[in-house]
């Protein structure tokens, strides 16, 4: 098992380029199931989640390879084992994305109930409700979702809203299934995240007929078949937001390249409110902090609101603000495993239900801490960069799920991060 040792505090200078989006790549990889033949997906990051999903596709019958230039090639000529096995699916929630395309192509799918990060209950009932509306018969058996549509799926008007807003993976699942359904499907209260739009754009390259992309109403005219396609995934806005917060917490100036500024407006708004300068630049932005960190209130919401995947990182940033801040989690109300670990580093955080009161402190102090999930691990890295002393972070395999070789990318900028095996 690897650990990080981080010496702080540090300051950054230079530029960093953002990789392709993990959250866009995984559903697009699943979409390759829909079209027999070889699809090519560009800018897919080298992450453990991508490797796990590639292995999952391989179990279905697909052949997944990386070309010399890094493109991911998925040959789905054969999909003869439509089963998402527990051994793999338990490791990553995004595995549920194979359910819709398997059902549409094979008429049947068996997928284990998914696992993933420990950030609270994330039911898939909206996924199943949407697929049932398309005509699938679904039941649970021994921890597996068994979905059947031997005579195909039929388009329908479907409302996809839930108690915490729209569902990204649920929208993706139903969207993919609807591309091969008979007739027209309308998904109302569809997730508007850029990653969903990227999936829809990829599906249209494959021959789907999807309109309303980027809006809460998606219209899909079913087609008889899809063809393999070549597609480049969008930059990872969560990675971009994490590096923006890294520049802010270290009082640095950092150029963020390959960043879609228009996807980041909620994040940019909070940074500017905190006292950080964010200027749009060619193909990215420049983030600078020279003064103190101001307190602010943050409420996570579905896109275009503030992303839940940046809540932990910004809580770390606000822990050094001059005053009190409030962070409210409205997407995953239990996503606060990082609070206790940050308090070990002398932060002053108090959790009250889905809210954390952040009382700013003058400095963070290094301590041994443990990562509990992907974004919590990123928050602890940020804390280590700003803290006095040497911070040790255990279970950094979590960060490898979503950040490609983060230490090798931050060290040239001024970080002092050492990966060690224990």
Helix (H, G, I), strand (E, B) or coil at 314: helix
Question: Virtual CA dihedral for 4, 5, 9, 13, nearest 10 degrees?
Answer: -60
Strands 2-8 and 38-42: unpaired
202 counts as catalytic:
no
**Residues 6+ away with beta carbon under 8 Å from 234:** 20, 21, 24, 194, 195, 198, 260, 263
**Residues 6+ away with beta carbon under 8 Å from 151:** 107, 135
Nearest-angstrom CA–CA distance, 307 and 237:
10
DSSP 8-class letter at 294:
P
| CA 136 to chain CA mean position, Å | 28
* Token digits of residue 406: 């983060």
Q: Is 125 exposed, middle or buried (0-12, 13-18, 19+ CB in 10 A)?
A: exposed
Write the DSSP assignment of 260-285 as a string of letters: -GGGGHHHHHHHHHHT-EEEEETTEE
Instruction: State the DSSP H helix or E strand holding residue 17, giving kind and residue range, or none if neither.
Output: strand 15-17
Choose, from 62, 97, 106, 117, the residue flagged as catalytic: 117
User: Is residue 243 within 8 Å of 19, Cβ to Cβ?
Assistant: no
Give me the phi and psi of 300, to 5 degrees please. Answer: -75, 145
Cα atoms in the 13 Å half-sphere on the side-chain side of 139: 2
Question: Which residues sit opposite 394 in a β-bridge?
Answer: 370
Write the DSSP assignment of 195-254 as a string of letters: HHHHHHHHHHHTT-EEESTTSSEEEEE--S-----EEEPPB-HHHHHHHHHHHHHTT-EE
Catalytic sites, residue numbers: 117
């Amino acid at each position: 098992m690897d650990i990080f040792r981080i010496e702080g505090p540090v300051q950054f200078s230079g530029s960093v380029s953002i990789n392709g989006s993990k959250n866009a790549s995984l559903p697009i990889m699943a979409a390759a199931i829909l079209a027999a033949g070889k699809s090519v997906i560009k800018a897919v990051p080298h992450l453990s989640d991508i490797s796990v999903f590639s292995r999952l596709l391989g179990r279905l019958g697909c052949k997944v390879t990386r070309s010399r230039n890094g493109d991911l090639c998925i040959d789905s000529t054969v999909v003869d084992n439509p089963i998402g096995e527990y051994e793999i699916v338990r490791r990553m929630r995004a595995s549920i994305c194979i359910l819709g395309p398997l059902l549409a192509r094979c008429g049947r799918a068996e997928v284990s109930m998914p696992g993933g990060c420990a950030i609270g209950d994330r039911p898939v009932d909206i996924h199943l409700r949407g697929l049932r509306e398309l005509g699938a018969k679904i039941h649970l058996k021994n921890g597996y979702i068994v979905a059947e549509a031997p005579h195909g799926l039929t388009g329908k008007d479907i409302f996809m809203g839930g108690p915490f807003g729209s569902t990204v993976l649920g929208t993706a699942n139903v969207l993919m299934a609807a591309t091969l359904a008979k007739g027209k499907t309308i998904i109302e209260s569809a997730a508007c995240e850029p990653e969903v739009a990227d999936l829809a754009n990829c599906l249209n390259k494959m021959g789907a007929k999807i309109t309303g992309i980027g809006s809460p109403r998606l219209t899909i005219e079913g087609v008889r078949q899809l063809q393999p396609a070549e597609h480049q995934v969008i930059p990872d806005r969560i990675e971009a937001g994490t590096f923006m917060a890294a520049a802010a917490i270290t009082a640095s100036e950092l150029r963020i390249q390959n960043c879609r500024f228009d996807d980041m407006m909620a994040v940019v708004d909070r940074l500017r409110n905190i006292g950080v300068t964010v200027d749009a630049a060619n193909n990215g932005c420049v983030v600078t902090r020279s003064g103190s960190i101001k307190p602010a209130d943050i409420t996570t919401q579905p896109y275009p609101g503030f992303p839940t995947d940046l809540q932990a990182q910004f809580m770390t940033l606000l822990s050094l603000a001059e005053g009190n801040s409030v962070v409210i989690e409205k997407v995953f109300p239990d996503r606060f495993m990082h609070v206790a670990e940050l308090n070990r580093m002398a932060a002053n955080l108090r959790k009250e239900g889905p809210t954390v009161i952040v009382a700013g402190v003058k400095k963070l102090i290094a301590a041994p801490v443990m990562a509990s999930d992907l974004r919590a691990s990123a928050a602890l890295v940020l804390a280590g960069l700003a803290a006095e002393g040497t911070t040790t972070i255990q279970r950094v395999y979590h960060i490898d799920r979503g950040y490609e070789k983060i230490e090798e990318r931050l060290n040239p900028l001024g970080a002092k991060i050492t990966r060690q095996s224990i």
